Each structure stands twice: as structure tokens, then as C-alpha cells.
Chains A and B, each alone.
Chain A
């Protein structure tokens, strides 16, 4: 199966030209990969990777929870609580059959020419498209849709802060004095004395170590950051820990009719529509492809031969017909990868992280990609858009940023390998893993909203028990 070569990969996103969400402030010390894996896997930024995310905000389908120790119904109040506290834009359409809109949503800003045409053709030929197992609908985004001015700058940094970032929530919490934010520290150890938890953190500027104590500790360093912190604290050295990843694939989609003009103005440049492919009746085996319209960074992604002064018009012609599809496979069809935590080398502060992936899962992923291509080829005449099959390729392990499951929730957790329903790993009672490290599986639906909802569920339960 084709993997994206370094030259073909999507460029790392920037926020107002800055790479700060990916920069190493010390949190990436000792993180290395074997083979072609992504190693920018822990963010040290305030707000983390949510500073650059795609803002896709969808609940998991109900059937996604069949492998989980609780149902979507149990998570529904938490999904609703999150959706009522972040900006939310989306519209009623066929995607509701799997992903309900919970709570009031803003309408989306106007879509690009290509996205509008594809969705209109879907409505016109809906039955022919659906009979091939393809469903389309508009994106659902953590975006202030009603305020959006369609300046098209979403992917390089919204000047109005209309695209949600976790930093917005922290700003509010800090401003209202509900949270004391201690910046400039890297957590190095977590544990409990008696049942009282603590975190040992190193001040990055001075190297001084400080111990923070609390009644409860909630870990949300991102799946790999949390895995490192937990595994090193419990001295789980040199044991490969498998992380499940919803593998990402790039699927360029060529429209038969192109846009009239090449501009990112008058629209928004986040994902505009979703192509959903159910592979089972219950709605567990779902594949999703997000359709991104033209944005200026695509100019630079063109082959050099289409960027010269004389060939630029050809490049523009290509881009007028192009929609970038970013697809996701569920974790059970994806290769995933292992993370091995090693003792820090002498003089270093952080435990080392080795990320490795074998190609065992590639065959299954390749088989599924062929099925996806097949379905899209069948509906191409109806949607007026064709997948550029030779360019469909899987991103390297870790690149989707949709990974987790190192210490999955379980009803009857295996000691040291699984967490209980409150994200607690034996022997801890008051340390809770609340990020995707506790996910039993990773569906192809983008998972940030589910991480937030699950963290809310745990916090709600803990707060409830504290109140008695």
C-alpha cells in the first residue's frame, strides 16, 4: 500500500505563521520513532494541539460504544454539556442518522463552489449514491458559524478566534478564578502517598523540581504524554504498550467541473462536508472522509513543475478542480503503533519514548482503502467528483493525531493495563486518566468531542462522589 512520502505529506499547520503547538519546549525530550512514524506527538502549548485542530465536532455513533464498558446514552448528558459550552456549527442532514446534532447549532458559513456543487448533486442523486453505501452531509464544527466573516483564514489562524481551542476554555476559567494555571512546568511523575495523589513537575526554565499535591489528579497530557507519565511513574520500563490509532489517509478528489475562481475568500477553509461510508448495519464500522476546499497552503503543495511562472496557470487549473479529502479508518482497521517507555538516560529528566510500528495492519487498511475507492468510483458519476486513486495514500503512524487506548476503560480492569470507568489505573485511587489514553477503541469519527465528553463524565462522577 502506498504511504505518503515526506514530500507528499500535508504540511504541518501553522497558527499565524507560528509552529508553537508542535514546538519542543522540553516535552519531546527523548521521544523518538523507529521507521516512518510521526514523533511530534506531545504538545507543550497552552491549549495543546487544539490550537491547530480541524474543529470537527461529531459525537460517536451509538454502535461505536459496543466495545466500551458504557453506552453512548450514558455519555449523552456529557456530550450535551460540552456542546452547550463551546461554539458549535452544523446543520440537519443525512449524517444525523448516525451522528445526532445535540443542542442548538449555528448554521455553517457559505460553502465553497465545489462543496456546494457536490452536496447539491448528492441531494439530486441521493438514492443512487446511497445504494453504493455512501452518505454525504455538511461538517459539524466547533466554530462560531453565525459570527464567521468567511475570510478563509481558518487553517492559518482565525483572526477572530471563532474556531474553538481549549485555550479559550482555560482563558475563561482563569479569568473567573476557577483555575490556577501554573505555566512553565513539565510533569515528570505522578503517584499517590496513601491515597493522596501528587505530581512532581520540573520547572523548564530552572530545572527545579516541585511537588504538587491535591485530592484528585486528572491526567490529560494527550494519549502519548499521559502514557509516558503513567508508565514511567509505575516503572513499566521496556514494555511495548499498544496504541490504537484511527489511521488517516489522503484522498484527493477531482471535480469534473471546477470552481470559477481560485480564492479562499468568501468561505471558510475548515472541513466543509463529510463523506460517510457505513460498512455494517449497526453503524460501528464507519469510514469518514472530510472534504477541504481550496486554501492558499495548497499552492505550495503542488508539484514544483506546476509552480513555475509559466506553468502556474496549469497549477491553478488543477486546484480549481481539487477538493482535499482527509479520511479516517477506525482503529480496528488501522495498523496502530507501540510506545515503549525507557528509563531516562543519565543526566536527562524525562523518560524516553520509542514509537514503533510494524506493517502487520497495513494489509487490512489497504483492503479497506480499496473498498473505499471502489465505492467512490461507483458514485463518481452522480457526485461529479472522482478520487484520484493513484494518489490515495495512508499517512504514517501517529500522523492522524487520533490515537489512544494505552490504558483502556474496562468494567473489570486488568491491573496495570486497563483503567476502571473513572480512568483509574491500579494501584491509584485518585489519579484519573481522562484523555484518549483511556479509550477502548478509536472510531473513524473525529474524537475530540468524545474525549471532552468522557473527561466531563469522569469529572461529573468524581464531583458527585465528593458531594456524597
Chain B
């Protein structure tokens, strides 16, 4: 796709898994990018890297010159519910307002598959609240599936660690929508560059969800594990995780994340529009090979 005149894409969470992949892809296409980071290493001395932290009110002019802002930042460090909401939800609403105030023409909020109506996952509820604000402002929401491939991060990385255990826990009835990172990046690039995109919620994932056991076996193969899988009832595990969290035991997986794995959405939102826009997603595990070689 040719670079449209005077397009500049800002990315919050530019140091994250998806943000950094999007940044690289846009730059490789000669598109101006502004990275928004909460920490700027002293080694980086670029005018196109700007400070932004979700919990803080952006200074006026922070988004000056940016035509499209992809908001991929989400702070998972804060475990206190009230402060987490203040940081992520209120922070995202402030960001939206500041960005539009600075003249950003398109705001793309990177939400989550956990954010479906009726979700019981706290992460999904918080993302849904931001989605509503973005849609009220007539901008765009995307819900990527489980993103894999490239230099994996996020949930894919966590699951790959589980796949290395001597016994791999699986939840028999769980299914996840998946998306290769390159496809998600291509979709975001399209959404950022198209002259018109209707305000909507778009699921960025392959249309068929993958059974969780299939997904874990594929990840195990990829990380070189031959461990057997063990079907685990998730309800007792959820209770155990919650109990451990109550007494402050540090855990590799949060109870809320477990809910996201086992109680995902049934449908992919915005399928007609993603098809109309020509956004395509390969089926899992295409493109997984080699992802974990460096991990």
C-alpha cells in the first residue's frame, strides 16, 4: 500500500510485543511513526520517541502531528483494582480526549478478545469500558485474538512456558481465537492508512477458534517438549489461584488470565467488515515455526 500524504502513526505501548512489531512494519514501509513509551532509555535519542504514561494526564501537544494513534498500552503491574482502573481505564479515556484535542484524526484502541459483552474477566471488563468511550467518540476498536509468531510476548509467551512443564495442563472445552502477529500488524496498518474506517469493533483473528489442547500441543512441539498433556478442571484451579492471590503468593498466571483462557468469546465481532476491508488471518499454527528459537 502506498504511503498516503502526511500520515503519521503514533503507537502507545510501542515497546510491547504488538506495538514494537507494528512500529517496525510501519517504518519498513516508510511511514512516519511516533513511539510513546513510559520509559525512554538514554540510548534512544530520537525526536519520534515521546514520553507517555497511562496513569498520567498527557501534556497538551503530546500528540501533535500524529494523524492516527494506535493505543496498545495497558499497564498490568498494578494489582489494586481501583488504581488499576484509574490508570488503565481513566488513563485511556484521558488519552483519547487528549489525542483528539491535539488533532488526531483516527484513534484505534487495541482491546482484547476478553472484552466481550458478558465477560466476567476483570481485564475484559476494563477493556470494554474503554471500548465504549472510543465508540462513543466514533473511533475504532480492535480485539486481537491470542497473538503468536514473531518474537512472542504476552499470553503466547506465558503459554509456551507452560508447554515446557513436565506435564502440560490443558482445559478440554476451552477454545481460543488466534492471530499471527504479522496478520494483526497488517490489519492495523490497513486500518491506520485507509482514508475511511467506520467506527466499529473488529475481531482480529482467524475466524475459527482453536481448541486449547490443540494449541498447547502445537506450542509444546514448537518448544521441543514431549511432555504429556493433562486435562485440568479449571474451576478448582481458579479457586486455588484466587486463594493464593488473596494471601499474596506470587504466581506466573493470574486467576483473571485463567478466566480469559477458559471463558472466551463465542463469536468474532465485525466479521463482515474485516472481510470487506480485506483483512486476513491465517489459521493456527501457520507461522508458529521458529517463534521460540530465541526464547
Contacts and interface: CB of A to CB of B under 8 A. Distances in A.
Interface of A: 62, 73, 94, 96-98, 100, 123-127, 130-131, 133, 278, 280-281, 283
B126 A127 contact: yes
Nearest to A127: B122
B89 to A, nearest CB: 9
Given A73-B138, A96-B133, 11 more contacts: A96-B136, A97-B132, A124-B82, A126-B81, A126-B82, A126-B85, A127-B122, A131-B120, A131-B122, A133-B118, A283-B132
Nearest to A92: B93
B82 A98 contact: no
Contacts of A123: 82
Interface string B132-152: 110110100000000000000
A286 to B, nearest CB: 12
Nearest to B120: A131
A116 B203 CA distance: 39
Given A280-B117, A281-B117, A127 B132 contact: no
B56 to A, nearest CB: 18
B120 A97 contact: no
A29 B271 CA distance: 57
Contacts of B126: 127
Given A133-B118, A280-B117, A281-B116, A127 B85 contact: yes
Nearest to A124: B82
A97 B127 CA distance: 12
A406 to B, nearest CB: 31
B186 interface: no
A102 to B, nearest CB: 11
Contacts of A73: 138
13 contacts: A62-B136, A73-B138, A94-B129, A98-B132, A100-B136, A126-B81, A127-B81, A127-B85, A127-B126, A130-B125, A130-B129, A131-B120, A133-B118
Do most interface residues of chain B lie in helix, strand or loop, or is the interface mixed? helix
A67 to B, nearest CB: 19
A70 to B, nearest CB: 16
Contacts of A94: 129
Nearest to A280: B117
Contacts of A124: 82
B85 to A, nearest CB: 6
Contacts of A127: 81, 85, 122, 125-126
A114 B281 CA distance: 52
A94 B133 CA distance: 9
A97 B136 contact: yes
A208 B125 CA distance: 64
A126 B128 CA distance: 13
Contacts of B136: 62, 96-98, 100
Given A126-B81, A131-B120, A97 B129 contact: yes
B131 to A, nearest CB: 9
A424 B100 CA distance: 39
Contact of B133 (A97, A126, A283): A97
Nearest to B81: A127
Interface in B21-41: none
A248 B132 CA distance: 27
Interface in B6-25: none
A126 B132 CA distance: 16
A186 B287 CA distance: 77
A285 to B, nearest CB: 10
A316 to B, nearest CB: 34
A278 B136 CA distance: 15
Nearest to B136: A100
B266 to A, nearest CB: 12
Contacts of A280: 117
Contacts of B116: 281
A44 B82 CA distance: 50
Across the A-B interface, give the 4 residue pairs with the lowest CB-CB distance, nearest first.
Answer: A281-B117, A97-B132, A127-B122, A131-B120
A281 B131 CA distance: 11
Contacts of B122: 127, 131
Contacts of B117: 278, 280-281
Given A280-B117, A281-B116, A281-B117, A131 B125 contact: yes
A123 to B, nearest CB: 7
A124 B86 CA distance: 11
Contacts of B82: 123-124, 126
A60 to B, nearest CB: 13
Contacts of B129: 94, 97, 130
A96 B130 CA distance: 11
Nearest to A126: B85
Contacts of B118: 133
A127 B119 CA distance: 11
A441 to B, nearest CB: 20
B140 to A, nearest CB: 15
A415 B129 CA distance: 43
A445 to B, nearest CB: 14
A123 B83 CA distance: 10
